[in-house]
Structure 1
Amino acid sequence: MKKSLFGVLLVLLSFTLLFGCTSGTDESEDTWSDLEERGTIIVGFDDTFVPMGFKDGSGEIIGFDVDLAKEAISRLGLEAQFQPIDWNLKETELNSKNIDLIWNGYTITDERKEKVNFTKPYLDNRQVIVVLSGSDIDAKADLEGSIVAAQNASSALAAIQAEGAGETFDGGEPILFDTYNDAFMDLEAGRVHAVVADEILARYYIAERGEEKYKVLEEDFGDEEYGVGVRKSDATLLEKLNDALDEMKSDGSAEAISEKWFGENIIK
């Protein structure tokens, strides 16, 4: 009886291990053949992150990264499909296969490298401090005791935390917003004293809203690079995407997209 029971348990254990291993393999497989069969690559992005990827007045998805992604993905023989996501859950969305890429002013950091692979960097960026033009804040030291805003789960927040600066802010930490649009609205309303944001976003926002309203401090929270986030298992997609971006830099198409959105070539 004991031998019979032991045999049953062994069979059950074998099935558990078999299906457990199969599940793990599915999660770690290269999906290139599936993407080819589907014909599309789903790009996850924050649809309020101007000028990289956002919705215009008619609801159309536009932006620098949108144009760059469309061109690069078309060179893979596929079509780009853009999916707005909760930026707090971007890596979860990618690794759950709800999206295939994170492409939207996505800063390369060591912490993020633990969760995703990155393409070669294609843009430089820095985390700047924006205040209203009449503000008494002229340097990073002046942020002490001030209400400082940043986007939740952003590289701006990570940069602030890396320096330990948040502890000196009013409340002992930055005020977090789901979107930078909300953060800048609170800055204009006087509910926050400063916003820490990607320079590319901040400069575009300021140009749109009126440069006379704001000032960008000379000091910042560090330099960064943008890359495209790819699942660690998708080595084929990563290689093909890097090749496409290299081609676009060589033939001038990446420069043309940069000129369209920034009036100059800022491609790395």
Structure 2
Amino acid sequence: MSTAWSPFTNAPGQPRFALDLVDVALERIGIIAETVIVDEARLTPSLLSGEFDGSAALWKDTERERVLLYSQPYLENRLILVGRQGSDVSATALADLAGKRIALVAGYAYGGAVETTVGPIFVGSNSPEDSIEKLLNGEADYTLMDDLVIQYLISNHGEEARTRLAFGSTPLLTRSLHLAIRRSIPDAELIISRFNTRLVGMIVDGSYHRLLHLDWIRADVDGDGLREYVPHGDQTGPRPPEHSYELFATGTPTTKPSMTRRFYFGGNIYEGWSTVPEQYKTPNFTRPGQSPHTIKIFTFKF
């Protein structure tokens, strides 16, 4: 079970990247799962009572940890401040935006960081697309948008997005997403262990890229604490990526500005773009394929 938080969780046919990832990882260890979307008020009581076996996309919570076993984080919710071009998007906390109108998708469980903040004026919207529309037509001063949606915007509407929008660099809310199953399920620890192992393979084999609709991901693929740039395929074009999606931006060391960028191709790690073999720099005009579970992605209008 899960609540609706587009583009991570949603009903079939809508953006539901987290559910797609978990479904594929579980299928690869021989488990077929079905997720029911419920409202926030029902989530925790149903998990604690045993009505459901677990949740495919859950934030950690002390109360729930008593009965649930959590996987390693496989994605993060990172809410970034987005404004119209020229707006000040340097805020590091919602409290810095007192008096500003902020478009938020109604019905999402944003957590206490949003619900208890005094000062900003929250404007309800129906979807990320509706939030952008309200921002551009002046109904809102800002919107909070997940970093994954921003990557989609930049990849698919690059010129329009950069010309008309301003993006903050500091997440105002970050939460890690986990698969969680009841501790009482037979072989629960083994299931979680096998799931965790599958995640690493899905990063390097392009599954993450395909399911999240991304060209480049940055993640620690060799476990040394440094993140590498991982492409969706072995032909990426002659230039290094201008942007990438940080798979886990918190909790692991990151490359310092003075350090050489590391790239992962064909099972090898290369220090710096100049060391990447030319065979990988051939242009590839194909993009990651769409998940069969997600018929509709986003329809932003500029």
Task: Report if TM-score (shorter chain) is over 0.5.
Answer: yes
Task: State how 1:128-139 maps to structure 2 within 5 Å.
Answer: 128-134=80-86, 136-139=87-90
Q: TM-score, normalised by structure 2?
A: 0.55
- Paired residues of 1:70 and 1:79 also in contact (CA < 8 A): yes
In 2, Cα distance between the equivalents of 1:178 and 1:89? Answer: 21
- Paired residues of 1:130 and 1:217 also in contact (CA < 8 A): yes
- Note the C-alpha offset of 1:198: 2.9
Correspondent of 1:214 among 134, 150, 165: 165
- Note the C-alpha offset of 1:230: 3.1
Q: TM-score, normalised by structure 1?
A: 0.60
Q: Please state whether the residue corresponding to 1:81 is helix, strand or coil.
A: coil
Q: Give the structure 2 partner of residue 44 of structure 1.
A: 2
Q: Tell me, yes or no, if structure 1 residue 239 matches structure 2 residue 189.
A: yes
Give the counterpart letter for 1:85 in structure 2. V
Correspondent of 2:72 among 120, 123, 126: 120
Task: State how 1:2-151 maps to structure 2 within 5 Å.
Answer: 43-44=1-2, 46=4, 49-50=6-7, 52-54=8-10, 60=13, 63-87=16-40, 89-95=42-48, 97=50, 99-104=52-57, 106-108=58-60, 113=65, 117-134=69-86, 136-140=87-91, 143-151=97-105
Q: Please state whether the residue corresponding to 1:68 is helix, strand or coil.
A: helix
Unaligned runs of 5+ residues in structure 1 are: 1-42
Task: State how 1:156-195 maps to structure 2 within 5 Å.
Answer: 156-160=110-114, 166-170=117-121, 174-176=122-124, 179-195=127-143
Q: Please state whether the residue corresponding to 1:219 is helix, strand or coil.
A: coil
- Note the C-alpha offset of 1:125: 4.4
Give the counterpart letter for 1:253 in structure 2. M
In 2, Cα distance between the equivalents of 1:194 and 1:249? Answer: 34
RMSD: 3.6
Q: Please state whether the residue corresponding to 1:49 is helix, strand or coil.
A: coil
Larger radius of gyration: 1
Instruction: Answer 1 or 2: higher relative contact order, Cα 8 Å, separation at least 6.
Output: 1
In 2, Cα distance between the equivalents of 1:206 and 1:96? Answer: 42
Greater helix content: 1
Q: Please state whether the residue corresponding to 1:60 is helix, strand or coil.
A: coil
